Copies of this chain bind each other. A is one copy, B any other.
């Protein structure tokens, strides 16, 4: 079905993408949650616009550079979910607040001081969420009392406006069952809402309670009381979602199309997609470097930079020149390696999707 594409090609199937967005928005709306999608998996203006057209509200960027691209494209409600540190970042942040409604996060007094100074210099306080640790110790403040102490310590800084809490529950990806995912999502709900209540008791109102990563946002019944979720991966899904039971193969909309370029023996062959297309990211719940669509017998056992090694216990039945489609282990890192990806509908290339924020990691 992808026979006419030059390979390796990254393709995005538009029908499941639209369905994935609609499903996410509708499911969260039932529990009063907005969806503020993380644009890091696709880094594309077209797909960001599609997310907003289909009901998402605001966007999340991983880095200032991504936010700059999205602000230049006209998006006005942007959360930069990374602690901004350093003079060059402050200069750019100040400039960005001219263009869009920027929200960022803070998890240190040193960082808060830098943001405050920036807000003072522009005369527009920097709107900030306090980052709570969701268990992976990535720098967030511990929920409850430590978060209250932190909020007190930075709350009076001129130029800084604390408007809410942000939580990233990364431990959910270590779980092995739906029960486990739900349990971790409920812990998130409790940590965020209980911390917000404590802060409210102090007279500090947290208007934005932002949580819900790509697994948790699929179980909004566990997140009631938060105001928004920030899933990213949901528009594509990948092996991490598929083999955790959090997506069906039909919902996995991102594929890498590769050509068989060598037959090693009846059970081993080489394709023209390697780590520079798929990355070396692994999936804890599935062996190899991706899943071959329609061929569960095939394992992508090894990647060199431009070569992929595939094998099966049964004869592959592939010829040189044949194409295979691979669901990546981790969709969020694949478009970042391309300048553009193919937007496909009904087996046709409907459009080339530019990856405008590719490589914008500063």
Contacts and interface: CB of A to CB of B under 8 A. Distances in A.
A277 B303 CA distance: 19
Interface residues of A, number: 57
Contacts of A307: 82, 138-139
Interface of A: 6-9, 40, 62-63, 82-83, 85-86, 88-89, 107-108, 110-111, 137-139, 170, 259-264, 268, 270, 272-277, 279-282, 304-307, 309, 319-321, 332-333, 336-339, 358-359, 361-362
A305 B362 contact: no
B85 A306 contact: no
Given A262-B108, A306-B62, A336 B8 contact: no
A207 B83 CA distance: 58
Given A6-B88, A85-B321, A276-B359, 5 more contacts: A83-B270, A108-B263, A137-B264, A275-B333, A305-B332
Contacts of A260: 85
Contacts of A6: 86, 88-89, 362
Contact of A362 (B7, B62, B85, B108): B7
Given A275-B281, A305-B62, A306-B63, A139 B264 contact: yes
Nearest to A320: B110
A8 B280 contact: no
Given A108-B262, A361-B8, A276 B139 contact: no
Nearest to A88: B6
A332 B170 CA distance: 30
A133 B276 CA distance: 22
B280 A280 contact: yes
B139 A86 contact: no
A82 B137 contact: no
Contact of A279 (B275, B306, B309, B361): B275
A319 B264 CA distance: 53
A337 B334 CA distance: 11
A253 to B, nearest CB: 19
30 contacts: A6-B86, A6-B89, A8-B362, A40-B306, A62-B306, A82-B261, A85-B259, A85-B261, A85-B320, A107-B262, A108-B263, A110-B319, A110-B320, A110-B321, A138-B262, A138-B304, A138-B309, A139-B261, A139-B262, A139-B264, A275-B279, A275-B333, A279-B280, A280-B281, A280-B282, A305-B333, A306-B361, A336-B337, A337-B337, A339-B359
A249 to B, nearest CB: 24
Contact of A338 (B83, B107, B319, B359): B359
Nearest to A307: B138
A121 to B, nearest CB: 18
A140 to B, nearest CB: 8
A227 B297 CA distance: 42
Contacts of A320: 85, 108, 110-111
A304 B233 CA distance: 14
Contacts of A86: 6-7, 259, 321
Nearest to A43: B276
A105 to B, nearest CB: 11
